[in-house]
Structure 1
C-alpha cells in the first residue's frame, strides 16, 4: 500500500480482514507438530481426556492428604474467635497479656508445593472461619512499611499510601486514618477502625433476625489471619518490629499468625529473640512428608490399571531422580508426568490405542494401512510374529484384516497383564519391605523399577530376599501373607481369585499347624537335642565329641512341619513372581502404552544452562540460524555477535588475560568483518565505538562467570574456565 503526497505526513492503513491471523490453540500446535499421521486430532483428544482424569485424581488425592492438617489449622483458627465474642477484656485475659496465637506450619523443603497448600488454606479459612485473610511473601516485604502496606491492602481491599518521609515504628503505629481518593494511611490503627466498622456493619446489617442471631452466636467478630508463606526468607528485623507493633493492638484486634516453615521449628528461635517470641502463643503443625506424598501419588497414578498410560523404568528413574536430588517437589513430578503423557501421544502414532478397553478395540478397526505397518515395525510385535507358525506369520505380515483381529486380542492381553501385575507387585513388596538391608528396596517404586527393567527373579537381590524369607519367623510370615490376602481381595480378575484361594489355603494350613503344636505341648512331649549334653560338666575330649554329634545331627536333621510349610509358601510366592511379574517388554504392543524416551524428559526438565551457554557462544548459528554465521571447522565467524568473538579470543589466552592485547585482537577481527582493507591505516584501529562494544562484551562474560577481575595485575583479568568449548 502506498500514497503520494507533496509534503511529509503520517498515513494510517487499516489492515485487511483477509490478513487476520487465526489464533491457534493447544490442539493446533499438537497436530501441527506431528508429521505423517492422520489421527493427530483423535490422539490429542485422548491425551486431553486422559490427563483431565489423572489431574482430577491428583487433586482429590492432594485434598485427602492435606485434609488432616488443614482441619487442625481450621480448628486452631476457630478457637480465638469463639473466645473473642465475650468482649475485649476476656480476649486480653485469654491471650495472657498480649500473646498472639500463632500456628507454626512445617511444610518441608519442597518449596514449589507450598503455594498450593497455602491457597487451599486461605480458601478454607475464608469459607468457614473468617473473610479477613492476608498472605505475604518475603520478596515483597523488604521493609516494615512494605509489610504493613501489603497486609493492609490485602485485608482492606484498598490502596494504602506510604509516606516516604515517615520512618520508624512510631509513624507506622500512630498514623491517623485519612480516607482520600480511596487511599488510606499505612497504620494498624487504620486497620482497627476498619475492622470495627466491618464487624459492626455485619452484625447490624443482616435483615433476617434469626439468621443474624445465629451468626452472632457462632462468630460475630472473626479473627484477622496473616500468613507468612516463607518465614526463613523474611528480614528478622522487619518481622520483629511487625510483631511488636501487632502485640500492642491485640486488645482491639483479634490477630492471628500462620508461619510457613520449610526447615525446622527452631527457625523461629533463630529469627526472633525471646522478647519477641514470648509475645506469640505458638502451636506446631507438621505436614505430611514429601516422600510419603510422592509414594501416594505414584501408587494412585502409576501403580494402577485404571490409567492405560505407563512410564518405562528409565523415565520413572529420571522423574524420581529429579525429585530426590533437586527440589523434592511433588508438583514438579506431576508436571513431568504430564510432559511424558503429552510427548507419548504426540510422538507415537499408535498411542491412539492408549485408552479405555472398549475405545481401544474400536480404534483398532479404524487403523489405516500406514498405522498397521507401524504395528508390524514394533519390536514387541516382531518378536510375537517370530514365535508364530509360518502360515500365521505370513497372515500377520500381509493381511490387514487379520492383523486387526490379532491386535484386538493383544490389547485385551495387555489389559489382563496390568490387572495381574500390580497386585502381585504389592504382595512381593509387602513380603520383602521389612527384610534386613531391604534387598529389593524399601519403597515400592524401587521394586517397580526393578521389575520394569528385566526379569526380577534373575537379580541377586531377589535370590537374597527369597533366602531371607525362608528364615522368617512364623508370626512375621503369617502376618505378611494375611496382608497379601487383603491386597488380593478387591481384585476382580479370575487369575487373582485363584491366587487368593491358594493363599487362603496356605493360611489355613498355618492355623492348623498352630493347633497341632499346641496339642503336642499340652501332652507334655519334649524334643531332646544334643545341646542338653552341654549343660553337664565334661572334659575337652567329651566336649569335642558332643559338638561333632551336634553338627552331624543338624546335617541329618529332618525339617519340621513349619519349615516345610514355610518353604511351600515361599515357593508359591516365587511362582507368582515368575508368572505375573515379567517386564512389560515381554508383552506385545507394550509400546502403545509405555513411554520410554528418558532423554527427552531429562532435556526438558533437567536444564543444563552451562551447556546451552557454551553452545551459544561457540556456535551462534545453532540459535540465530543466520547463514553468515555458519562454520564447519569449529571457528567463529567474524560477523558473529561481539560476545562470541570475545569468548573465542579468550579461549586462546592463558590464566591471566591482558585487556589491552585482548582489545587489539578484538578490533582486528571486527575490522575484518566491516570490510576494512588490511593495508589501510583504519584496519585494527580502536575507536570509541569498538572500545564500548568490547567493554560491554567483557562485562557480559564476567556476568556469565567466564572471567573475573584480579588484584595480581591491574590491567589483567583472570580466566575461570579451562580448555575449549
Structure 2
C-alpha cells in the first residue's frame, strides 16, 4: 500500500528557571545613593517609625482642629433633618419659598488642605447622619447633565442615560445594572422606595429629640470648590432641586476658599433666595500652622529637629506660596528622609532608651565620622591635652563620651522648650512685638544665635520693666503653669523660685491694701480739703518735690519687678543657647536648607532654560557634551532652535531662522559642506522646524506679531 510519508516529531524543551522580578520596596529606594550601607536598615527603621508617629499625631491634631466646625455642621444638618421629618412649623416657615438648607463652609485659601477636611466631613456624615453623601468637583461637572449624572450615579449606583441621543456604550457594558433616566424625579422615586422599605410603621418619635431618623436620612451634596463651578450649571441645579424639596430632604454644602460673598456673585437673587444659607468659618491656616509647629517641632518628644534656616524655608514656602499645612508637613517629611538618608550618624537620632545599644554598635568608620563633626572638634579644643589624646585615639572612649553627649542633648531639649514658651508668654503682648508675635519667630531667633545679644531682646526687656503689676503677675503665673510638669531638676528649681516671686507679689498686694485701709481710718474728716497758700509757699513746695524726685528710691514693686526680670534673664541665658553649642548636635538637627529649597521651591523657568541650553544636563548623552555656551548639532530640534533664537534681536525672521536650522541639521547628518544638498530645506526639516518653533511658543519664548507677517517676537533676554 503506497503511502505518503510525512515526518513528525515531538520535541521536549525543559522549562528554564524564570527569574522572578523583584519588586522594589521603600527600603530599596532608601538604600540607593546612601553613603554608608552598614547601618542603612537601622536608619530606615528609625526613620519609618518616627514618621509613622508624626503622621499619627498629625491626623489626631487635624481631627481636633476640625472638630468644632464639623460638630457645628452635624448639628445644623441634624436640625434641618429633624424639622423635615416632623413637618414642624419651623420647617414650613423655612420652606415657604422652597428654600434648600445650605451650609457655606469657609475654609480659606489653603486649597490643598481642603481634601482632608471634606474627607473627615464625609466620613462623619456617613457614620452618624446619612449614607447618602455626594462630593462633587468642578472639573467633573462641566455641564448640567454631567452634574446630574454624577449625583444620581453615586447615590443609586446605576448606569444612567442623560438623553436618548447620548452614546450608550457605557450602559451596554454593565448589563447587570438597571438603566434609569437621569432626573431628580427618578431620584425621588428611588429615595421613596428605599425609605419605605426600611421604615417601621407605628414607631413613636420623641419630640424633644433631634437625633436623625435613619429611615428618612437626608441627601447631602457637597460642592468642594464652589468658585470653580460654572455659575450657570450651579443655578440650574439649584432651580431644579428647589422643586423637589418637599419630597426630598436635600441639603447643600458649599466649600468656599475666598469669601462668602462669592455666593452672591455667582448666583442671582432669584436663585440665592431659594437657599437657606448658614455660614461656618473654619480655623485659619496660620493658626493651624502654629498648632502643628507647637505639637510637632516645639517638643522634646521627637528626637529629629530642624535648624533655623530649614524651618525658615518651610515657613516661607507656607506664607508666600500656598498657605498649605499639608504641604508644610510634606516638607517636614522630606527633611526627615534627607537627614536619615544622607547622615550616617543619624542612627543615633533615636529615643533615649535606644541610644546605648546604637552607640555600642558604631563601627570604626562611624567613630571617625564623629571625630570629623565641627561640634566634636570644638569640644576637643577645650579639653586638657591628655583628654584630647584619648578622644583622638581611643574609639571606646569616644563611644563612652557619645552616650553622655546624647543624654545632655535630651536634657537640653527638655529645658529649652519650657523656657522658650515662658519667654514667648512674656514678650508676645509687648508693643510692636520685638521678639515676634508667633513663637516660631522667637524659636528661629534662638536657633541662629544667642538671643540675648540681639537688640530686639534688649528692647523687649526694657518694655518688660515698664509693665504694670497686674500684667506682669498674670504673665508670671502663665510661666508657672508652663513649668509645672517639671521634667528636669533645673525646671523644677526654676518653678520653685518663680512661685516664691509670685508669693512676694501677693504679700505686696496685701500690704498695700492694709496701708490704704489704715490711712482711711486715721485721716480726720477735714484733712482732705485744700489749704490756702501764697506764692512763696507754692515755690517752696515745688522745689521740695523736685529734690525728692532726684533722690527718689525705687518702690517695693519696682524692686520686685526687677528681681523677677533678672530671674527670667538668667533662665534665658542658661537654657536658650543655640543648639550648635551642644556637642554632637548634628546627629539630631537637619540643616541642608539649600537641598530642601531646591526640592520644594521649584524654579521651572531656570530648569527649562538649562534643559534647552545644556541638554546633556538631563539626557546624560556623551554626544551632547559641548563647551559652555554652545549646543551640539546632535541635540534635539528644540535645543537647536532655542540656541539660534538667542542670536537674534527682538524680531526674528522665520525664513532666516529656518535656513540656519537647516544648515545645523545638515552638519549633524554628516553631509559634505560643498555638496548641493547641504543646508537645503526639505519637507522633513520644514516640519521638524515648525514643531520646534511651536514648542518654543508654547513655552513662552516667542509669540506671533502683527508688525511683520513673516516674523515672530522674542519674549526673553539673554541666555540661561
Q: Aligned partners of 1:466 and 1:496: how far apart in 2?
A: 22
Q: Aligned partners of 1:630 and 1:542: how far apart in 2?
A: 99
Q: TM-score, normalised by structure 1?
A: 0.91
Q: Specify which of 398, 412, 416 is matched with residue 411 of structure 2.
A: 416
**Cα gap change, 1:536/1:638 in structure 2, threshold over 3 Å: closer, same or farther?**
farther
Q: How does 1:21-420 map to 2 (within 5 A)?
A: 21-86=21-86, 94-163=94-163, 165=165, 181-203=177-199, 218-420=213-415
Q: How does 1:481-500 map to 2 (within 5 A)?
A: 481-500=476-495
Report the counterpart of residue 8 of structure 2 in structure 1. none
CA RMSD of aligned residues (A): 2.8
Report the counterpart of residue 701 of structure 2 in structure 1. 706
Q: Aligned partners of 1:688 and 1:195: how far apart in 2?
A: 64
The answer to whether residue 668 in structure 2 is matched with residue 673 in structure 1 is: yes
Quick check: 1:88–1:252 contact (8 Å CA) kept in 2? no
When structure 1 is superposed on structure 2, of 152-161 and 545-554 the one drifting more is 545-554
Q: Aligned partners of 1:630 and 1:309: how far apart in 2?
A: 42
Q: TM-score, normalised by structure 2?
A: 0.92
Q: Aligned partners of 2:90 and 2:569: how far apart in 1?
A: 69
- The structural deviation recorded for 1:282 is 0.5
Quick check: 2:609–2:719 contact (8 Å CA) kept in 1? no
Q: Secondary structure at the match of 2:552?
A: coil
Quick check: 2:78–2:212 contact (8 Å CA) kept in 1? no
The answer to whether residue 553 in structure 2 is matched with residue 558 in structure 1 is: yes
Q: Aligned partners of 1:14 and 1:249: how far apart in 2?
A: 71
Q: Specify which of 410, 423, 431 is matched with residue 428 of structure 1.
A: 423
**Cα gap change, 1:471/1:379 in structure 2, threshold over 3 Å: closer, same or farther?**
same
- The structural deviation recorded for 1:411 is 0.7
Quick check: 2:195–2:216 contact (8 Å CA) kept in 1? yes
When structure 1 is superposed on structure 2, of 192-201 and 472-481 the one drifting more is 192-201
Q: Deviations over 1:455-506 (max 9, x none)?
A: 0000000000000001111000000000000011123211111000000000
**Cα gap change, 1:200/1:423 in structure 2, threshold over 3 Å: closer, same or farther?**
same
Task: State the number of aligned residues.
Answer: 693
Report the counterpart of residue 450 of structure 1 in structure 2. 445
The answer to whether residue 632 in structure 2 is matched with residue 637 in structure 1 is: yes
- The structural deviation recorded for 1:97 is 3.2
Q: Secondary structure at the match of 1:258?
A: strand
Q: Secondary structure at the match of 1:260?
A: strand
**Cα gap change, 1:638/1:709 in structure 2, threshold over 3 Å: closer, same or farther?**
same
**Cα gap change, 1:538/1:470 in structure 2, threshold over 3 Å: closer, same or farther?**
farther
Q: Secondary structure at the match of 2:487?
A: coil
Report the counterpart of residue 568 of structure 2 in structure 1. 573
**Cα gap change, 1:405/1:96 in structure 2, threshold over 3 Å: closer, same or farther?**
same
Q: Specify which of 457, 463, 468 is matched with residue 462 of structure 1.
A: 457
Q: Deviations over 1:284-335 (max 9, x none)?
A: 1000010000000000000000000000000000000000000000000000
- The structural deviation recorded for 1:723 is 1.2
Report the counterpart of residue 656 of structure 1 in structure 2. 651
Report the counterpart of residue 3 of structure 1 in structure 2. none
- The structural deviation recorded for 1:724 is 1.7
Q: Specify which of 606, 609, 613 is matched with residue 614 of structure 1.
A: 609
Report the counterpart of residue 479 of structure 1 in structure 2. 474
Report the counterpart of residue 173 of structure 1 in structure 2. none
- The structural deviation recorded for 1:18 is 4.0
- The structural deviation recorded for 1:632 is 2.1
- The structural deviation recorded for 1:201 is 2.1
- The structural deviation recorded for 1:543 is 9.6
Q: Secondary structure at the match of 2:631?
A: coil
- The structural deviation recorded for 1:198 is 1.2
- The structural deviation recorded for 1:86 is 3.1
Quick check: 1:88–1:251 contact (8 Å CA) kept in 2? no
Q: Aligned partners of 1:483 and 1:216: how far apart in 2?
A: 41
Q: Aligned partners of 1:536 and 1:224: how far apart in 2?
A: 86
**Cα gap change, 1:156/1:546 in structure 2, threshold over 3 Å: closer, same or farther?**
farther
* Segments of 4+ moved more than 6 angstroms: 214-217, 534-539, 541-549
When structure 1 is superposed on structure 2, of 551-560 and 323-332 the one drifting more is 551-560
- The structural deviation recorded for 1:396 is 1.0
Q: Aligned partners of 1:252 and 1:712: how far apart in 2?
A: 64
Unpaired runs of 5+ residues, structure 1, are 1-12, 167-178
- The structural deviation recorded for 1:712 is 0.9
Quick check: 2:138–2:225 contact (8 Å CA) kept in 1? yes
- The structural deviation recorded for 1:20 is 3.4
Q: Aligned partners of 1:165 and 1:543: how far apart in 2?
A: 105
